[in-house]
Structure 1
Amino acid sequence: MFNNNNNWLSRLGLLLLLSLVAVNALAHGVDDSTRSFLQQHSGIQFVPFLYIGAKHMLTGYDHLLFLVGVIFFLYRSRDVLLYVTMFTLGHSITLLWGVLGNIQVNAHLIDAIIGLSVVYKGFDNLGGFKQLLGRQPNTRSAVLIFGLFHGFGLATKLQEFQLPEHELLTNLLAFNIGVEFGQFAALAFILIAINFWRRLPSFERFATLTNTLLMSAGLMLMGYQLTGFTLQ
């Protein structure tokens, strides 16, 4: 009976992961109501931008898949905090720099690199680099570097709307704070789920499959975005 429950929970986790990927391919981006708000309002809009930032992170499945890979084998709270801080630092820098400095990058290419980050973390979790290169790349540096690309991905979404420069910095800070709220809310749920799963015998058995699915999800995201770039 207990084994049946373990198998059911494992299958449910895998189904949720696949659902995230499917929804991402169809819905990732800025919805029409958010688009309308950003285009029609000017001046300081701290609370709305806070909400939009949190909403975007909670529906930014590529970001969440990467974070799942980052924390999948982290067992100590100190390590989780360290790696999430590296990611946060990276995407905060390029989000602000990209919009305020009007750094123009192709959204499809950036999102393809974000998909690559998911592939990278899944491959890293599977020990692929140790087998291929004989050593593991510096994981902290990788999380920081990919965090920079994730920040550019967030920046490209805002740049589409040519936001008025008046009080832009304040609104961007509110958006970034919202992103952090959304990120930590998502992480809280993910950590609870993973920590519960770790207590079950099925965790080790399905860890390889889960990270293989992460790689597959990243490859799907890369293909989706590179196709969009080619057809652009």
Structure 2
Amino acid sequence: MRSHREGKPAAARVVQRCLGLSLLTLCLATLGVSEAFAHAVAEGDKGYIQEITGVHLIPFVYLGAKHMVTGYDHLLFLAGVIFFLYRLKDIGIYVSLFALGHSTTMLLGVYFNVGINSFLIDAIIGLSVVYKALDNLGAYQRWFGFQPNTKAATLIFGLFHGFGLSTKILEYKIAPDGLLQNLLAFNVGVEIGQLLALAGILIAMGFWRRTDGFRRHAYTANVAMMAAGFVLVGYQLTGYFVS
């Protein structure tokens, strides 16, 4: 009969493999993206947005939450941001900076009709994933001898993430009647979705960090994240030049 000590490493390996598969699945979903861009809205949701008028708070909260929990670019960036953060205080600061940037440009971009080419903005969002993966790998200090301000970068890339969504919403010509209330409700949904996604990522990361292989496989995980970001950039730039 196996002892408790013998069984524990085996259980740890199982958890480690499951977490590795989860990250790989997320990266493959990014690599295998087709016409559904990072900020695209499902066809059913698109039709709903185009047809309704007036204030619809609950539906827009739902749409905002759905966008966040299915937005693989957001999830990859968030995973990169908290990858080496252990204290809840630090996690709260960085996630709040990202939320501030994302919310500001999403609301102002739609309300004041400020649109950016969706291919270019999504390419920049792909670069945000590349940036964070390289930051986690310590590349900037090794290559250039300096460390970028990670808080400022999180806020700035949050602004671009928000522009990505506002640009897509503008393409669907949301009705001006009830626009501000619906946008605020959508933003509340985005924050709810972000908290749900963040909770899932933190739980998974918590289990992974307890395994012996976390430090050993952290490098590989961030290289995979960086590769996914480069694929996003290349895909969007290709779309820009051929469209």
Matched, 1:32 2:43: yes
| Matching of residue 224 in structure 1 with residue 220 in structure 2 | no
| Shift of residue 17, structure 1, vs aligned partner | 2.9
Percent identity (aligned): 53
Given that residues 130 and 136 in structure 1 are in contact (C-alpha distance below 8 angstroms), is that contact kept between their aligned partners in structure 2? yes
Q: Structure 2 length as normaliser, TM-score?
A: 0.91
Could you tell me which residue of structure 1 aligns to residue 222 of structure 2?
211
The residue type paired with residue 71 of structure 1 is I
Distance 1:57 1:24, change over 3 A: farther
Which secondary structure state, in structure 1, belongs to the residue aligned with residue 26 of structure 2? Answer: helix
Q: 1:24 to 1:62 in 2, by over 3 A?
A: farther
Matched, 1:128 2:139: yes
Instruction: Write the distance in 2 (CA, Å) between the matches of 1:18 and 1:114.
Output: 15
Instruction: Report what 1:191 is aligned to.
Output: 202
Pair 37,78 (structure 1): closer, same or farther in 2 beyond 3 Å:
same
Which residue of structure 1 lines up, in the alignment, with residue 96 of structure 2?
85
Matching residue of 1:19: 28
**Equivalent residue for 1:111, pick from 122, 132, 155:** 122
Query: Which residue matches 1:168?
Result: 179
Q: Tell me, yes or no, if the aligned pair for 1:6 and 1:201 is still in contact at 8 Å.
A: no
Deviations 1:60-118 (CA, angstroms, capped at 9, x unpaired): 10011000000000000000000000000001110011101111210100000000000
1:53 and 1:179 in contact (8 A); partners too: yes
* Contact residue 140 and residue 148 of structure 2 kept, 8 A: yes
* Cα contact 1:95–1:151 (8 A) shared by 2: yes
Instruction: Specify whether residues 39 and 177 from structure 1 end up closer, same or farther in structure 2 by C-alpha distance, changes over 3 A only.
Output: same
The answer to whether 1:5 aligns with 2:14 is yes
Residue number in structure 2 paired with 1:59: 70
- Evaluate the alpha carbon distance shift between residue 14 and residue 47 of structure 1 in structure 2; reply closer, same or farther with a 3 A threshold: closer
| Residue type of the alignment partner of 2:100 | L
Shift of 1:187: 0.4
Q: Aligned-pair RMSD on alpha carbons?
A: 1.5
Q: Where has structure 1 moved over 4 Å in runs of 4 or more?
A: 23-26
- Cα distance in 2 between the residues matched to 1:33 and 1:6: 37
Structure 2 unaligned spans of 5+: 1-6
CA contact (8 A) 2:115 2:163 kept: no
With normalisation by structure 1, the TM-score equals: 0.95
Q: Which of the pair has more CA radius of gyration?
A: 2
- The answer (yes or no) to whether the contact 1:6–1:202 under 8 Å persists in 2 is no
Structure 1: runs of 5 or more not aligned: none
Structure 2: how far apart are the matches of 1:65 and 1:56?
Answer: 14
